[in-house]
Structure 1
Amino acid sequence: MDSAFDAYSIYEMLEHYDVSAIIDLNPRRSKQFVYNEMTINVDGVPICPIGRKMLDWGVEKKRYRRKWRCPAAVGKWECPTPCSNSTYGRTFYTSTKDNPRLFPRVKRGSKEWKQRYSLRTGVERCIKRQKVDYHLEDSRGRSSRHWNIRSYCIGMCQHADAWMKEAEKVNYSGLHPLIKSLLSL
């Protein structure tokens, strides 16, 4: 879903049904978020006190939480004012149970997130094709039977379009001769 669905109640419902939420945070609601006195950016990454993103250090499977480490302690940056005296550096934990909106199961910006998010655009293109190209909403039918028949017909047309696109890739070699003759008209 896109950022228009960025509401805490939607995340709670998805968690209740054991569904991974792939929803962008809505930047209009706020640019940064605060969680346990730590600033969180729009991607759900904690920001250290000097303004740098903390590094993702994996997931603790037993406790169902994600671990973040200070970038200075890992050696990525020099820190003028270290926030921890420990040689390991400051660590911060985030959990989906605490706040499913800020910390979904799948980390925002990760490879898995991008793969799942790209599927959403395919669904949106499909719905656009039904509504705009095939004029689904222009119908004047009132009964559910009429809408079902129209939807099934549009689905068959979309399926036929997909077949034709695949056939174009191989120069129509797998098509029936009758269909080939109709294409040449």
Structure 2
Amino acid sequence: MAERTKSKIEFLIMDGGYDQLKNYESAKNIGAQAIIPLNLRNEKEPPEGISSNGTPRCSMGYEMTYWGADKDQLKFRCPHATGKVDCPLGMAACSSSNYGMVVKVDIKKDVRRYSNPHRDTKRWKELYNERTSVERCNSRMKSYLTANSLHVWGIEKVKTHIYLNAIVLLVSALAMAKENKGKKAA
């Protein structure tokens, strides 16, 4: 008998309604990163020196440029040094270095506000967009199959029922694809 390997969950992707500290902490506890847009309903404004999406601001008030991550550290650089902003004082306002001011943020400092990948990156947006395709499947299982009104009890029975719904959905999609392919060939 072949040995089964456990799959590691890398990301938990949820909508803004799940933006609560306990969800981020639960994801971190299983070694995953929560991908949830910040819902600022409970905040009047973000902490001083940080934008609403978790990006630090330079001393002139501009959002710094995300410059990558190293494990649990996010690196941000002076926006003037990276060419994102034409600061009237140049880099002199923030740093005497030619590289510009650098701010490193430890993700563990605030697991809700900071994530790897950073919220403003293309990768974070790509991950979050994957959620919409799953939501379409969930909606179809609720609308056209019986996922919305289960008549079984217990997690194992519910799981089996949902798996059967997913199989029916997949077989239906394959049948439609085959039918459409046959129509195009004719």
Same-fold call, TM > 0.5? yes
Query: After superposition, where does 1:98-117 map in structure 2 within 5 Å?
Result: 98-117=109-128
Q: Distance in 2 between matches of 1:18 and 1:146?
A: 27
- Of 65, 71, 74 in structure 2, the residue corresponding to residue 66 of structure 1 is 74
- Of 149, 153, 177 in structure 2, the residue corresponding to residue 166 of structure 1 is 177
Q: Displacement of 1:55 after TM fit? A: 0.8
Tell me which amino acid in the other structure corresponds to 2:118. K
Work out which of the two has the higher radius of gyration on C-alpha atoms and give 1 or 2: 1
- Of 73, 77, 83 in structure 1, the residue corresponding to residue 85 of structure 2 is 77
Q: What SS class does the counterpart of residue 46 from structure 1 fall into?
A: coil
TM-align CA RMSD? 2.9
Q: TM-score, normalised by structure 2?
A: 0.73
Judge which range, 144-153 or 105-114, deviates more. 144-153
Q: Within the alignment, does 1:15 sit opposite 2:25 as a pair?
A: no
Q: TM-score, normalised by structure 1?
A: 0.74
- Structure 2 unpaired stretches of 5+: 1-13
Distance 1:124 1:157, change over 3 A: same
Q: Deviations along 1:112-142, whole A, 9 cap, x unmatched?
A: 2223212212221111111122243346x36
Q: Within the alignment, does 1:53 sit opposite 2:66 as a pair?
A: no
Distance 1:102 1:69, change over 3 A: same
Number of the residue aligned with 2:10: none
* 1:31–1:41 Cα contact (<8 Å) kept: no
* 1:71–1:77 Cα contact (<8 Å) kept: yes
Tell me which amino acid in the other structure corresponds to 1:55. T
Q: Displacement of 1:56 after TM fit? A: 1.4
Identity %: 30
Q: Displacement of 1:150 after TM fit? A: 5.2
Judge which range, 102-111 or 19-28, deviates more. 102-111
- Structure 1 unpaired stretches of 5+: 175-185
Q: How many residues are aligned here?
A: 168
